[in-house]
């Protein structure tokens, strides 16, 4: 059925939203802040921390960017009031990066300033390669203003990432390391999964050896087990790293990581822009997309 799952993934935009929503509910906390708070509280109860993401990207107006900034500041306030063990993640295209980098910096600075005031933390997500340079520049400017309150993401499939890791280590950055999901040209990105995994482990080793607090963001057991080995070899304490996973993905592996005594942070998206996020998640995971087809059949039973 592997080929059928891929076919379903390709035609997802024509599938009724109700079906996509039912299948993708495992990946998304819900549409409201209350949904997000409830999900994080349950994760905290299970001994896991979280990072909250208000869904949205590639806004086209300044007013949209500033509304997104206000929503994140409100989210940070709610986290503080509720006493939740979670930080926040955001995408710079949601803050106006493609409209005006200075607008984006201004909006994001307001969020990081609020995180600083409330003793929280903001992770700047990495998007496609057209955003990489400006994302790293904005991160550096914010890190200089608010040390320890902002971090960034490095994608292991990009060939430039080894140099970026060295720069970030010198800045005293906090880094989330992931494989990368965007379709990029072979000139700038590794395409073979074995090459990506080899580079991931090389980057992880470099980050940890340089003393960078690293979020080991993966659902791949072929990376988790070697990560354990690197951590043991370096004799790292738990405050020097954490594992990170997406809500609803590989929950058995998630529990195993926690049971092994490691810190684990779960990425929890929520908000009204759930549909676009759901399509991307399902296209990335054709096996799950196959459940959409079964959902359609079940609807007609």
Q: What is the pLDDT along the chain (301 residues), one digit of tens a residue?
A: 455 445 555 666 666 777 777 777 788 999 999 999 999 999 999 999 999 999 999 999 999 999 999 999 999 999 999 999 999 999 999 999 999 999 999 999 999 999 999 999 999 999 999 999 999 999 999 999 999 999 999 999 999 999 999 999 999 999 999 999 888 999 999 999 999 999 999 999 999 999 999 999 999 999 999 999 999 999 999 999 999 999 988 999 999 999 999 999 999 999 988 777 777 666 665 554 544 444 444 444 3
Number of neighbours of residue 263 by Cβ within 10 angstroms: 18
Residue-level pLDDT at 275: 79
CA dihedral 55, 219, 294, 292 (to 10 degrees): 20
Q: Is 220 a catalytic residue?
A: no
Domains, the chain, ranges and CATH?
A: 1-28+286-301 (no CATH), 31-270 (3.20.20.220)
On whether the CB atoms of residues 84 and 268 are closer than 8 A, the answer is no
pLDDT, position 282:
66
User: Phi, psi (5° rounding) for residue 120?
Assistant: -120, -165
* Buried residues in 23-41 as b, exposed as e (16+ CB within 10 A): bbeebbbbeebeebbebbe
Which residue in the list 125, 254, 265, 281 is annotated as catalytic? 125
Which phi and psi angles does 158 have, rounded to 5°?
-85, 135
Residue 29 CB partners (closer than 8 Å, separation 6+): 35, 36, 38, 39, 40, 247, 268, 269, 270
User: So what's the pLDDT on residue 157?
Assistant: 98
- Say what the pLDDT of residue 272 is: 87
* CA dist., res. 258 & res. 101, Å (int): 39
| Pair 174, 185: CB distance under 8 Å | no
Q: What share of the chain is helix, strand, coil (3-state, %, to 5)?
A: 55, 15, 30
27/14 Cα distance (integer angstroms): 20
Output phi, psi for 27, to 5 deg. -95, -15
What is residue 54's predicted lDDT score, i.e. its pLDDT? 97
State pTM to two decimals: 0.89
Cross-strand bridge partners of residue 50: 86, 266
Catalytic residue (one of 109, 123, 176, 265)? 176
What pLDDT score was predicted for residue 284?
A: 62
164 is annotated as an active-site residue: no
SS3 at position 177: strand
> 9 φ, ψ to 5°?
-60, -35
pLDDT score of 19: 72
């Amino acid at each position: 059925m592997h080929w059928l799952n891929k076919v379903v993934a390709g035609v997802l935009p024509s599938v009724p939203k109700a079906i996509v929503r039912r299948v993708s509910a495992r990946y998304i906390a819900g549409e409201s802040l209350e949904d997000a708070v409830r999900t994080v509280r349950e994760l905290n109860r299970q001994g896991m921390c979280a990072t909250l993401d208000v869904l949205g990207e590639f806004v086209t107006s300044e007013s949209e960017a500033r509304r997104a900034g206000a929503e994140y500041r409100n989210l940070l306030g709610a986290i503080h009031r509720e006493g939740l063990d979670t930080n926040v993640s955001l995408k710079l295209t949601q803050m106006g990066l493609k409209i005006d980098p200075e607008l984006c910096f201004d909006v994001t600075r307001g969020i990081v300033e609020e995180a600083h005031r409330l003793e929280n933390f903001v992770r700047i997500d990495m998007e496609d390669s057209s955003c990489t340079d400006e994302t790293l520049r904005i991160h550096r400017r914010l890190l200089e203003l608010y040390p320890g309150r902002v971090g960034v993401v490095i994608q292991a499939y990009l060939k430039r990432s080894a140099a970026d890791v060295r720069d970030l280590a010198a800045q005293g950055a906090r880094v989330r390391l992931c494989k990368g999901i965007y379709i990029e040209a072979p000139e700038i990105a590794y395409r073979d999964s074995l090459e990506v995994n080899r580079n991931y482990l090389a980057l992880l080793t470099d980050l940890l050896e340089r003393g960078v607090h690293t979020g080991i963001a993966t659902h791949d057991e072929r990376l988790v087990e070697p990560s354990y080995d690197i951590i043991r070899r370096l004799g790292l304490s738990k405050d020097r790293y954490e594992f990170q996973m997406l809500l609803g993905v590989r929950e058995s592996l998630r529990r195993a990581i926690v049971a092994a005594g490691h810190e684990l942070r779960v990425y929890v998206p929520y908000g009204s822009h759930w549909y676009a996020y759901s399509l991307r998640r399902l296209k990335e995971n054709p096996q799950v997309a196959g459940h959409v087809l079964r959902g359609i059949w079940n609807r007609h039973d």
